[in-house]
Each structure stands twice: as C-alpha cells, then as structure tokens.
Amino acid sequence: GAGVSQTPSNKVTEKGKYVELRCDPISGHTALYWYRQSLGQGPEFLIYFQGTGAADDSGLPNDRFFAVRPEGSVSTLKIQRTERGDSAVYLCASSVTGDGEKFFGPGTRLTVL
C-alpha cells in the first residue's frame, strides 16, 4: 500500500514567485495536515483539513499561504510572492480520522533564492 506522497521532492524558486506543493494522502484518510520544518527545528503546524474543509488554519503564517483540498483527497499548498524565509521542508501527513495516528510524507524541500 502506498504511503503519503509529496511532489515535487525539491523546488527551487526565485523570490517573489508563486509555488504549489502537492500532497497525496493515504487512500481513505479523511484528515490531512501540512507542517513546515526549518533546518534544525521540529515540524511546525500550518493547517489541518477534515474532508474538504480546513478545520484549523491557525498555523498559516500570513495571507501569502493558502491550501485547498477540493475533493477531500489530494491537497495543494500554495505560496504567493515567496520570500527567502519561506525556505524549508514542507511536510504533509494524513490520518484515518482526526484523532488517528499521523503518517507523514517525505516532504518537499523548498528553496527560495
């Protein structure tokens, strides 16, 4: 069975550009999470989806960050007008239910030049 997959694995962009990061959760998992992990730090919560709706987006740092999950499976994290400080590994996780064990993907390493 496939785990959580994330694409691309690496993304290099220039300051000011727009990027999209994709997460394919484990089939049947209703809960999906996005985290950001800076070098030498633990993952930092960004947003949690239950089905198609964002149940908790309190971790999004500002309005340049937005995420969608239109059909309750695949999710896309969108970052507008990227800044060098956005450089980090963006992790996605899914769980069967909101209280279930989270399974993490390998992450997308974003580098903003």
Binding site for another protein (CB under 8 A): 4, 31, 33, 40-45, 48, 55-56, 58-59, 91, 93, 98-99, 101-107
Q: Based on CB atoms, which residue is closest to another protein, 90 or 112?
A: 90
Cβ proximity of 74 and 11 under 8 Å: no
- Smallest gap from residue 21 Cβ to another protein (A): 14
**Rounded alpha-carbon distances, angstroms, from residue 60 to 2, 12, 34, 45, 46:** 28, 21, 9, 8, 5
- Smallest gap from residue 79 Cβ to another protein (A): 19
- Smallest gap from residue 30 Cβ to another protein (A): 12
Q: Based on CB atoms, which residue is closest to another protein, 50 or 76?
A: 50
Q: Based on CB atoms, which residue is closest to another protein, 14 or 27?
A: 27
Q: Based on CB atoms, which residue is closest to another protein, 79 or 91?
A: 91
